[in-house]
Amino acid sequence: MRLLKLVPDNTNIGFVRVRFIAFVITALLTIASLAVVGARGLNMGVDFVGGLMIEAKFQTVPQLDAVRSNIDGLGVGVSSLQQFGDPKTVSIRLPIPESSDEGATNAVVSKVSASLVKQFPGVTFTRYDTVSGKVSEELIQNGVLAVILAVLGIAIFSWLRYEWQFGVSTFVAIVHDVLMTLGFFALTQLEFDLNIVAAVLTIIGYSINDKMVIDDRIRENMRKYRQMDMKALIDLSVNETLPRTVMTSVTVMLALGALLLFGGHVLRGFAAAMMLGIVVGTYSSVYVSSSLLITLGLEPQRFSAKPKESRPDAERVGPQP
């Protein structure tokens, strides 16, 4: 049986040669992404802005305008509606009533559900979320803190483990991944909630996985070929690890594709974010972080001069004894 090989043997793509073009594209995309976030903002879920969310499942596809006018007639605040996943499911978002009275939220929920049942028989309410402003602020803080600390922790780890250049390039690449994902959410206006923060953290994890594999190979090759030109060495390393990069991306994409198509509407945003993250993360590993090492002045000679790096079990060139 002939085995499938996605990347042919002895592939040699000149990644480093195009690094300036890649930098420009990356910078433009990053700026564009920031601009979109600034201009359109993220469609924050109730987790982060506070509020009341009711998910309603209708028997037939409802007219959103009819639903909106129904709710707006109740005097419970400005509603925002969103269909997600299947068109019969609508999420209704309302502000939390100002009153400190405990019954107020309950009253809004029952008012809305009673009124909708009247106009749309057979509608069922599958989910309620209410988050107060104070809690949502804390959730934002924790979410942002988690992302920042994860990025910093990873950068510090790769700095201690390798060289400072690896730390910096990894840091830059990951920040890029995070900004791209945010840009995607600003552009599509998919709801950004706590699950998405989990997705962003996973993208960071995946992307770092990618970079570690390439960085590790670069370090290995630096020991092996001390006199080699850094550009050629990085090209060699990226090409050597390319089959693995492609294979793994494909398998993860397969898994996420299943999640996107069959995982139900609750997981759809999550899966979409992750799929985009895999693409962005792979791109930044191949084009951004490794090429950046050259710009940062990483040299094999300097690297191998450090005695602590040569371990007794280090790579030997030549036949096994």
Partner 1 sequence: MLDFPRWKVWSICLLLAAGILLSLPSFIPESTIERAGLHGLPRINLGLDLSGGSHLMLEADTTDLAKQNIAKMEEQVRTEMRRADPPIAIGDISTTGGRLSFFVRDASRIDAAVERIRTLTQPSGMTGQRDWDVQVVDSTRIVLTPTKQGLAQATDSAMQVATEVVRKRIDEMGTREPTIIRQGAERIVVQVPGLQNPAALKALLGRTAKLEFKLVDLTADPAAVAQGRAPVGSEVVAYAEPGQAPIAVKRRAMLSGDELIDAKLSYNSQTNEPVVSITFNSEGGRKFARVTQENVGKPFAMILDGKVLSAPNINEPILGGQAQISGRFTTDSANQLAIALRSGKLPVALKVVEERTVGPDLGADSIRAGTLASVIAVVGVVIFMLVSYGRFGFYANLAVVINVFVILGIMALLNATLTLPGIAGFVLTIGTAVDANVLINERVREELRRGRSPTQAVEHGYKEASRTIFEANVTHAIAGLIMFVLGSGQVKGFAVVLLIGIATSVFTAVVFTRMLVALWLRHKRPTSIHI
- Closest to partner 1 by CB, 141 or 295: 141
For position 6 contacting partner 1 by CB under 8 A, the verdict is yes
Cβ(229)–Cβ(305) below 8 Å: no
Shortest reach from residue 260's CB to partner 1, in Å: 8
Shortest reach from residue 95's CB to partner 1, in Å: 15
Count of residues in contact with partner 1, rule CB under 8 A: 82
Task: Find the binder of partner 1 among 8, 39, 261, 307 (CB under 8 A).
Answer: 261
Task: Find the binder of partner 1 among 25, 34, 259, 296 (CB under 8 A).
Answer: 259
How far from 181 is each of 190, 195, 273, CA to CA, in Å? 11, 14, 7
For position 105 contacting partner 1 by CB under 8 A, the verdict is yes
Q: Pick the stretch among 17-25, 61-69, 139-147, 175-183 that binds partner 1 (CB under 8 A).
A: 139-147
For position 87 contacting partner 1 by CB under 8 A, the verdict is no
Cβ(176)–Cβ(280) below 8 Å: yes
Task: Find the binder of partner 1 among 126, 189, 301, 310 (CB under 8 A).
Answer: 126
Element (H, E) at 57: strand 51-57
Site for partner 1 in 270-289 (CB under 8 A): 270-271, 274
d(CA 192, CA 202): 15
For position 1 contacting partner 1 by CB under 8 A, the verdict is yes
Q: Pick the stretch among 16-24, 32-40, 253-261, 281-289 that binds partner 1 (CB under 8 A).
A: 253-261
Site for partner 1 in 291-310 (CB under 8 A): none
- Closest to partner 1 by CB, 100 or 227: 100
Cβ(166)–Cβ(159) below 8 Å: yes
Q: Phi first, then psi: what are they for 278, rounded to 5°?
A: -65, -45
The residues, ordered by sequence, that sit 6+ positions from 252 with a Cβ below 8 Å of its Cβ are 206, 278
For position 112 contacting partner 1 by CB under 8 A, the verdict is no
Amino acid at 90: V
Site string for partner 1, 219-238 (x = CB under 8 A): -x------------------
Task: Find the binder of partner 1 among 12, 128, 164, 301 (CB under 8 A).
Answer: 128
What is the DSSP secondary-structure string of 240-284? HHHHHHHHHHHHHHHHHHHHHHHS-GGGHHHHHHHHHHHHHHHHI
How far from 319 is each of 108, 224, 236, 312, 316, CA to CA, in Å? 77, 14, 21, 17, 8
Site for partner 1 in 160-219 (CB under 8 A): 161, 194-195, 197-199, 201-202, 204-206, 208-209, 212-213, 215-217
For position 317 contacting partner 1 by CB under 8 A, the verdict is no
State whether the Cα torsion 221-169-238-236 is positive or negative. Answer: negative
What would the two tokens of residue 240 be?
Answer: 């050597």
Task: Find the binder of partner 1 among 22, 139, 230, 234 (CB under 8 A).
Answer: 139
For position 263 contacting partner 1 by CB under 8 A, the verdict is yes
How far from 80 is each of 1, 5, 6, 14, 50, CA to CA, in Å? 57, 49, 46, 50, 13
- Closest to partner 1 by CB, 40 or 224: 224
